[in-house]
Amino acid sequence: MSQLGFIRTHQSVVDIIQRLSDAVLLVGTLWLSVWLSDYQWGEREEVAALTGVLVFYFLAEMNGLYDSWRGASVSLELRYLLWSWFWTVLILLLFAFITKVSELYSRQIMLIWFILVPLTIGFWRQSIRFLLKNLRHIGYNTRRLVIVGANDLGKRLLSTIRTHPSMGFTILGFYDDKLERGSSFESLEVKGNLNDLIEDGKKGEIDSVYITLPMNAEPQIKKLVSDLADNAITVYLVPDLFVFELLHSRWQDVGGLPVVSIYGTPFLGLGGFLKRMEDVILSLLILLLMALPMLLIALGVKLTSPGPFLFKQRRYGLGGEKIWVWKFRSMTVCENGKITQAKRDDDRVTPFGRILRRTSLDELPQFINVLQGQMSVVGPRPHAISHNEEYRPLIHRYMLRHMVKPGITGLAQIHGCRGEADLPKMEKRIYYDLDYIDNWSLWLDIKIVFLTIFKGFVHNNAY
């Protein structure tokens, strides 16, 4: 039972329709696949349909597919749909393999189903978009709004709304105590001060009020919200959070109390579960495929230079906790204390080790770290502890990269941030690391893995 006064998630009619239609289309396309293949619908198909719906709902919810897409691009929505269905198919296949029920199902039926689902759901969603867009164009499902606060935050809100006309918002103007009525701000009329807003609101010509006043204007905000309670107007408060440098900021609920994170991690709850599942599946697959090459590399290291074929170094892991990271030995020394970065033509690097470092094959043992849960396949690369201590006081927000597990590859690596790093280069790495955390998605991970195969393993700066 919801509590009066607390923030509650808004669930629109369109959102409910999309959830129901997705279930209908998932079941309907499976039935069509059975019919096209000249089979009879039976209990096994019912189990497959129910499992598919539940798994798809789970992943679609995690990916934000049922969030409001009002104003978002078509390609982005379709990408999230394809990604949710891709992982649904992968989980269903894995489940069928583990339970050994794969032989009970026709491969033809499953293949047709796997293809039809994204086509039909994608077409249905775009049909809804087209319908809503045309309704808003002729005046239906639109909102008349005003912005309280002629400032940078108000300007940003205005720009966002203008960029996405499909949202169906009509901006009547600004209200601000510091500007004269009838003046102009960002080519829009200033309708008056806050007292004028109260009077104009009584006329019934305003649907929504967006308050973009700064955090230090709390008394004015409280009074305005209280005065607007006498009008049938929806009031929105746009938090002035841009005074902070946010990192994966989001609303959360603590015992019914809404809070917002300033610095957060995407790997809590469902995000953490999906990330771990991705790591286990990919690391197992890669270790199986690379088992023989890794054995040959180990022999190559032993035969070309004295010393162990593996070595480990202390690095910072999740939350700054120290972990052991494994690598194939590529140098004549195994440093773990004060580490001197490898330079071009470094005498410590063995001839065979130079090949390993240039191709990143020396890092293959780190997939064992991934299976142990200390690292991820994708994430910020773990720096030596001595390098962390050197750069953390020099680079703002440096340690926020440890809000997630370190990775074997990452966004910085596919952008060429490899090899010896001075302060400007390290700042560039941190920029990409934090950008990855702030914008993480399963789709981004698979994109990084794909690009690593073609441009991340071999690089001129890797030496």
Q: Which residues of 158-169 are buried (b: 16+ CB within 10 A; e: fewer)?
A: beebeeeebbbb
Binned at pLDDT 50, 70 and 90, residue 272 comes out as confident
Long-range contact list for 306-314, CB < 8 A, 24+ apart? 307/332, 307/334, 308/334, 310/365, 312/336, 313/339, 313/384, 314/384, 314/385
Contact by Cβ (8 Å): 327, 362:
yes
Overall pTM > 0.85: no
What pLDDT band is residue 3 in, cutting at 50, 70 and 90? very low
Q: What is the average pLDDT score of the chain?
A: 82
Helices (H) and strands (E) in the chain, counts: 15, 12
Over residues 58-67, the pLDDT tens digits come to 888 777 777 7
Predicted pLDDT of residue 175 = 93
Q: What is the 3-state secondary structure (H, E, C) of 308-322?
A: CCEEEEEEECHHHCE
Return the minimum-mean-pLDDT range out of 57-71, 83-97, 147-161, 291-305.
57-71
CA pair distance 177, 8, nearest whole angstrom: 31
Cα pseudo-dihedral 265, 270, 272, 277, rounded to 10: -150
Half-sphere exposure for 49 (CA within 13 Å, toward CB) = 19
Give, rounded to a whole angstrom, the gap between the first and last alpha carbons of the chain.
61
**Tokens of residue 363, six digits:** 């890092």
**pLDDT tens digit string along 214-256?**
888 888 999 998 888 877 788 888 888 766 777 777 776 666 6
- Residue 41 predicted with pLDDT over 60: yes
Q: What is the DSSP code (8-state) at residue 341?
A: P
* pLDDT score at 9: 42
Assess if CATH 3.40.50.720 describes domain 143-241. yes
Q: Which residue has the higher pLDDT, 1 or 431?
A: 431
Q: Are 258 and 7 in contact (CB under 8 A)?
A: yes
Token pair of 222 as six digits: 């409280």
Residue range(s) in the chain whose domain bears CATH number 3.40.50.720: 143-241
Q: Would you state the structure tokens that stand for residue 453, as one six-digit string?
A: 């195969």
Parallel, antiparallel, or unpaired: how do β-strands 169-175 and 143-148 relate? parallel
